[in-house]
Amino acid sequence: MKIGIFGGTFDPIHNAHLFIAEAARTLEDLERVLFVPTNAAHYRTRAVADGEDRCAMIAAAIAGNSRFALDRSDLDSAATGFTADLLPRLQLRYPDARFTFILGADSLVNGNWVRLEEILEALERFVVAPRAGISDEVLGRVVSAIPAGLRTRVATLNLPELPESASLIRKLVNEGKTFRYLVPEPAWHYIVERGLYGTSNGQAT
C-alpha cells in the first residue's frame, strides 16, 4: 500500500493543505494520505491551538475525502517531533506501507532538518509542493546538497505556487479581517465557534 505522510502543525489546516494532499495523492498514485499534526517546534514556533483543537479541525476538514485520514502518532507523549523518529513508528502501525512524505518547499528550505538522509532512506518518495516566495533556484540548491543516491527519491510536484499559509490566516484573525474560504468551511466554523486565534463574534458573520 502506498501511503502519503503529510506532517505539520496544521495551525490551522487550510485549503492549500487539502489541495496539496489531493494533488500528491493523484500524481503519486497514493492509496491514502495521512495528516500527521505535531506539537514540536524544532523548525518553527510552537502551535497556538492545542493538539485536540487542531485534530478536530483536521478531522472535520477531511471528512469528505475517504482517502484522507488523521494520524495522531506525533502528538503522543513519547513523540520527539523529529520525522526520523516518527517514520519507524508509522511503519509499525502500517507494516505493509510504502511511504511518500509530502511537504511544502518552504518547510524543506527553511526547516532545520535533522537526520535527513535517514529520513530519505526510510521513504519511497519525498515530494515537495512549490510555495510562493521559494524560488526554483533556492529549492534546487537544497536538493542538490542531498547525496546523489538519495536524490532520485526527491521530486517537485507539478503544481502552482500557493500563497496560503497558517501564519497568514492567524495574521488576518489578529487584524480582525475575514479568513473565510482560506480554510475549509468546517474548520472555519470550528475556529469561530471556539474563539480560536482570537476570533470574535463579528468574524463569524
Report the CATH number at residue 55. Answer: 3.40.50.620
Residue 34, φ and ψ in degrees, nearest 5: -95, 125
Q: How many domains does the chain have?
A: 1
Q: Read off the pLDDT of each residue in 104-130 and give the average, rounded to a whole number.
A: 94
Q: Which amino acid is at 169?
A: I
How much is the pTM?
A: 0.93
pLDDT at 205 over 60: no
| 176 located within any domain | no
Strands (E), 63-196: 68-70, 98-104, 125-129, 154-156
Does residue 84 belong to any structural domain of this protein?
A: yes
Residue 42 in contact with residue 112, Cβ under 8 Å?
yes
Q: Is 127 helix (H, G, I), strand (E, B) or coil?
A: strand
pLDDT score, position 152: 95
Predicted confidence band at 61 (pLDDT cuts at 50, 70, 90)? Answer: very high
* Residue 67, pLDDT score: 98
Residue type for position 139: L
Q: Is residue 32 situated within a structural domain?
A: yes
Strands 2-8 and 68-70: what pairing? unpaired
Is 107 contained in some domain? yes
**Residue 38 belongs to some domain of the structure:** yes
122 domain residue, yes or no: yes
Tell me if 89 is assigned to some domain.
yes
d(CA 182, CA 3): 26
Contact criterion met (CB below 8 Å) for 193 and 204: yes
Query: In the chain, which ranges are E strands?
Result: 2-8, 32-37, 68-70, 98-104, 125-129, 154-156
Host domain of residue 155: 2-164
Three cell numbers at 116?
Answer: 535527513
Residue pair 184/15 in contact by the 8 Å Cβ criterion: yes
Mean pLDDT value of segment 41-45: 66
3-state secondary structure of 151: helix
Q: Is residue 174 part of a domain?
A: no
Tell me the pLDDT band of 186, cut-offs 50, 70 and 90.
Answer: very high
